[in-house]
Chains A and B, each alone.
Chain A
Amino acid sequence: MSLLLGAFIIGLILALVALGVFISFRIYHFPDMTAEGSITLGAAVAAALLVTGHSPLYATLAAAVAGAVAGLITGVLHTRFKINALLSGIIVMTALYSVNLHVMGKSNVPLMNVTTFADQAAKLAAHFGTEKVLLFGREAAVRDLTLLGLSLGLVVLVGVLLYAFFRTHLGLAMRATGDNDQMVRALGSSDGVLLTGGLALSNALVAMAGALLAQYQGFADAQMGIGMLVWGLASVIIGEALVGTNRFGYLLAGAVFGSVLFRLLVAVALRWGLDPNDLKLITAVFVFGALVLPGTFAKLRRRISAPVSGDSRA
């Protein structure tokens, strides 16, 4: 049960990554590699602040701000200096690797002896007076359930705020920028500024996920960002398949569902004996399949339904 709850909690925390990737990839069609660096940046900033005695809330918010700055730099590299989208992200991601090491002071910072949001959840859970409850006939730790509730509340809050934001005049202009930048300029807004702002928002979410993940795991590590972009993309793709519509609110919710479902699948696969070293390979293959298979199936269907006119070479 605790394994399952853990998968749920990590799935919810990483849903913030999925939402960030949804913004960069799906709204702006911008393959933003910065995410790999900014998730670690978030973890590093939060860890550095926590070990110097700052509150988890402050540390998490500061991590989000740091992530926003990283996204801002990528946006400026791309829009001001006309550097290719992919390369802008890679440049910032590479630079962040050193920045993260400086922020942390070493490649791994344990958070065992400091108060994290997970500890605060545990403190809150103590008020319920019991340590275990029965859930679906199995024992579950109240501490884990409280943490799950808090994570869920946070993700729902972020989701609702994003949904509301993308319905404002500013948010709508951001969505239009990914759709048709020429039109946005013709309607008097700078597509460059709107893209940069969107990348800042995206990376703020990703860094926030990094900060929460570090606090949940109990350590921040310089390597923890590797593969996170593809992970987020996998969640977004699963989410799209789940909701099966193009309506914006559903797609946002889908990214969250996708992240949780993906994490659950991974937890089950690991339980069944999947080598953890193969995890990223399998994620990559999965994303490849999800990107390519729909087109292949459509082609096959056309070939089957269309009558083949006499082919002599057969």
Chain B
Amino acid sequence: MLELNGIRKTFHAGTANEVRSLQGVNLNIEPGSFVVVIGTNGSGKSTLLNAVAGTFLVDEGSIKIGGEDVTQWAEHRRAQHIGRVFQNPFSGTAPTLSVAENLALASRRGQARGLGFALAGSHRADMVAAILGLGMGLETRLDNAIGSLSGGQRQALTLLMATWLKPKLLLLDEHTAALDPRSADQVVRITDRIIARDSLTAMMVTHSMQQAVTYGDRLVMMHRGQIIHDVSGAEKRRLRVEDLMARFEEVRRADLLDTSAADLLRARYV
């Protein structure tokens, strides 16, 4: 469903602040696969998701969604294939619009928005049914401004909006990181349920090792703009939090032995 070939992206190229965020990423995701992406800070995992979403255009490589080359497409054009939930609960919803109005916007994702009334009658029953499915008691607040809801509620609604029209690809960028533990748990469970129900193809970036081992059928670990581990099938199911911690420790040690750091250590201690 998603094919990434040799993706490279460098920010602020040629300046002192040059950051090589993606250094040749290849990834092929099968339809219906739920891929969890982990990695250290600055490893490029969120950048990878943004590259797929089209927040910026990549320097090199190609991106295909459902066989269609979208490498040069603008962000809003790619949205016809992609549903997204962001880390910041405020990013996914329009605060002054009501819950129903936000859902109405999502019901036209990637389609022409004409002059038909957005809240025409028939839609409302679907909205209530979908919101009931969240189990958050929001069905009575359809006409409240979304800005009056909590982060967890807004994130759950963003999820509902992102999947209202079945996307070819669902991108979840640490979408529970800004929530309290209880809401985070609730939102990730809803996520898993929706992905399973609609057999969606999804990529989820997370910092939670627990989420990484519990959810998804494939795990990708990134480091320095590259994929360094790719685990799926039975191996992914056997994965425990300790295994992941061990992998992170490996990466950390490898980093210590890296050229510049090694020089520094040698100068100090040898």
**Using a CB–CB distance below 8 Å, which chain A residues touch chain B?**
164-165, 167-173, 175-176, 179-180, 182-191, 246
Report yes or no: A187 in contact with B161, Cβ–Cβ below 8 A: yes
Q: Is B110 an interface residue (CB 8 A)?
A: yes
* Chain B contact residue count (CB 8 A cutoff): 37
In the complex, besides A170-B113, A246-B145, 14 extra interface pairs with C-beta distance below 8 angstroms are A168-B115, A169-B113, A169-B117, A170-B115, A172-B104, A175-B94, A180-B93, A183-B91, A186-B86, A188-B80, A188-B108, A189-B79, A190-B76, A191-B76
Chain B residues proximal to chain A, CB less than 8 Å:
53, 74-77, 79-80, 82, 84, 86, 90-97, 101-102, 104-106, 108-111, 113-119, 145, 161-162
The closest CB in chain B to the CB of A248 belongs to B96
Residue of B at shortest CB range from A191?
A: B76
Most buried by B among A188, A189, A191, A246: A188
Cβ contacts under 8 Å, A180 to chain B: 90-91, 93-95
Jot down 24 A-B pairs with beta carbons below 8 A, ordered by A: A168-B114, A168-B118, A169-B115, A170-B113, A172-B97, A172-B113, A179-B94, A179-B95, A180-B95, A182-B91, A183-B94, A184-B76, A184-B94, A184-B105, A186-B53, A186-B79, A186-B162, A187-B108, A187-B110, A188-B109, A188-B110, A189-B79, A190-B76, A191-B76
> What is the CA–CA distance of A105 and B95 in the complex, to the nearest angstrom?
48
| B108 / chain A contacts, CB cutoff of 8 Å | 169, 173, 187-188
A-chain residues with CB within 8 Å of residue B97 when the two chains form the complex: 172, 175-176, 179
With A and B bound together, what is the CA distance between A168 and B115 in angstroms?
5
- Return chain B residues, CB-CB under 8 Å to A190: 74, 76
Which A residues lie within 8 Å of B145 (CB)? 246
**B11, chain A: closest CB distance, angstroms:** 17
What's the nearest-Cβ distance from chain B to residue A254, in Å? Answer: 15
B119 — which chain A residues lie within 8 A by C-beta? 167
Q: Give chain B residues whose Cβ lies under 8 Å from the Cβ of A189.
A: 76, 79, 113
